[in-house]
Amino acid sequence: MLQSSRILRYIMDIKAYAKINLGLYVIGKRADGFHNIETIFYHINLFDEVQLSTGNNIIISCSNPKIPTDNNNLCWKAVELLQKELGVTNGAKIFIKKNIPIGAGLGGGSSDAAAILRHLPKLWNMKTEPSQLEKLALQLGSDVPFFLSDSSAYAEGRGELLQEITLTLPYWIVLINPNIHVSTPWAYKILSEQRNNVFPVRQRLFDKFLYAPIQTIIDSKNDFEGVVLNEFPQIKKIKLQLAELGAVLSLMSGSGSSVFGLFENEHSAQAAIEFFKKEYFIHLTEPYFSPLP
């Protein structure tokens, strides 16, 4: 029988950070219909603001009306999973100030859900083990486990097999989002069709990273670009313009539509921002960034 635990009644304000993919390689199709990938996840200084408090029911509100606030919301599902896992009936009141663009390859919804998994048990005055939260996170999405930690990570499998790495980039990161929605299932489908389900054998990304971390990042590719850039010339144009403006790397994050450029100095980064800011969503992350707890 579900019980109601003793609740600490206060409000918690949480920063749910976005991620970019420093390289993304699709290395094979799995028997379960998913694909195996390799990537490096890296947090950027762009975050949703999640206000969390306890309650008797699950109540979600959001600054962006396009975000569902019912049981289709990943945060709602996260609360339900915690209730079942911990055997309680406690609820939660959640407000999300949405700063991360939606469907942009930045993991915004996954980061919000992971924030609930990480912090709600504290408000319920209950303890959880990392293995418990990892199990619940994977039920919500392949990249949700990454957001349970503030560290960068090498990821393989569906993106859920993580190895934390020490990485702080010495670059200014200029993020551009053109407000184009790219369907991840569509991108996987077209990529598989193009390759006729035959995937190239590559040197393992993690081995290359250990040998030469920064050079591996500078040389990184995103397999989805071959699909997405052909379908969406506007995204391709942004990628090329970032390179022309001096980015040492311009790359799409996830399956798009966001593109980021790595710049060696602030002057070049600011020049890129000036170039793009009238038309697109822009965000700048400073060198050596790491999330605050």
- In the chain, where are the structural domains located? 12-165, 172-285
The stretch 215-242 carries a mean pLDDT of 97
Question: Residue 19 catalytic?
Answer: yes
List the one residue out of 97, 253, 115, 234 whose CA is nearest residue 173.
253
**Catalytic annotation, pick one of 19, 98, 208, 239:** 19
63: Cβ contacts below 8 Å, ≥ 6 apart = 96, 97, 98
Q: Is the pLDDT score of 226 beyond 50?
A: yes
| Average pLDDT value for the chain | 93
pLDDT at res. 98: 98
pLDDT classification of 293: cutoffs 50, 70, 90: low
Phi, psi of 192 (to 5 degrees): -65, -40
Q: What is the DSSP string of 223-238?
A: TTHHHHHHH-HHHHHH
Given CATH 3.40.50.1000, say whether it is the number of domain 172-285: no
Residues 231, 189: contact at Cβ < 8 Å? no
Q: Which residues of 41-69 are buried (b: 16+ CB within 10 A; e: fewer)?
A: bbbbbbbbbbebbbeeebebebeeeebeb
**Per-residue model confidence as pLDDT tens digits over 116-129:** 999 999 999 999 99
Residues 50, 115: contact at Cβ < 8 Å? yes
CATH architecture, domain defined by 12-165: 2-Layer Sandwich (3.30)
Question: Residue 143 catalytic?
Answer: yes
pLDDT classification of 32: cutoffs 50, 70, 90: confident
The stretch 211-218 carries a mean pLDDT of 95
**Catalytic annotation, pick one of 77, 143, 208, 223:** 143
- How many angstroms separate the CA atoms of 216 and 207, rounded? 10
